[in-house]
Amino acid sequence: MSKPILTAILAGLLPLAASAQTAPAAPPAAAAAAAAPAAAEAPAAQSPLSASGAYARSNNPEAGAAFMTITNAGPADCTLSRIGADGFDRPALHTSREEDGVMKMVPLDGLTIPAGGSHELKRGGDHIMLMGARAPVMQGQAVDLRLDFGDCGTLPVAVTIDNSAGPAAGAGLMDNPAAHDHGAMTHDGAAHRHGATN
């Protein structure tokens, strides 16, 4: 091959070599993924509150009552201040009080579960009234409760209307809200209950 021809070939290859040196290399997909910061999700805070033995009863198609034991495993007291109940317009915290041989229902404006303690909502004592039913209350009906403990969070509790559940003590009055002495509520006002420590 003559020298002029070889020189021409080399001259044609030089621009191609320069272009190859200046072209950026595409990063591998794995490297790009590793370079992007991973979005770490913070774990949800676990509630110190739990409910056990939850059930509900009703002898009235317009209302019912729910019972359970609430436990606070946390380091601070937790106060139940609001209640929500699917299918009921007026769920409320009540307690039973005997006056002159007559059992009366008194509303509670709060129920404090102490740190490391528990409190039983039971027939004949503190309980959750399910009032203002949007449809007739039926045996076997499922009710989702939302117990609002403020800074301690909301405790969801599922109960079922079961008139065979629970002890027989304090029967008719709490199962039948029509028997509640609502006049006593007005005279006595709302109270506040503190649960027991373990």
The mean pLDDT values, 10 residues at a time, for the chain of 198 residues are: 56 55 55 51 73 96 98 98 97 93 92 98 96 97 98 97 78 50 39 55
Domains: count for the chain? 1
Q: Examine residue 132 and state whether it is found in any structural domain, yes or no.
A: yes
Q: Examine residue 84 and state whether it is found in any structural domain, yes or no.
A: yes
Whole-prediction pTM value? 0.67
Residue 146 identity: R
CA angle 56, 180, 188 (to 5 degrees): 120
- CATH code of 156's domain: 2.60.40.1890
Q: Examine residue 193 and state whether it is found in any structural domain, yes or no.
A: yes
Full residue range of the structural domain in which residue 70 is found? 49-197
Q: Examine residue 119 and state whether it is found in any structural domain, yes or no.
A: yes
Q: Which of 99, 101, 104, 64 is nearest to 85 (CA)?
A: 64
Q: Examine residue 33 and state whether it is found in any structural domain, yes or no.
A: no
Residue 147: Cβ within 10 Å count = 27
Q: Contact 108/191 with Cβ under 8 angstroms?
A: yes
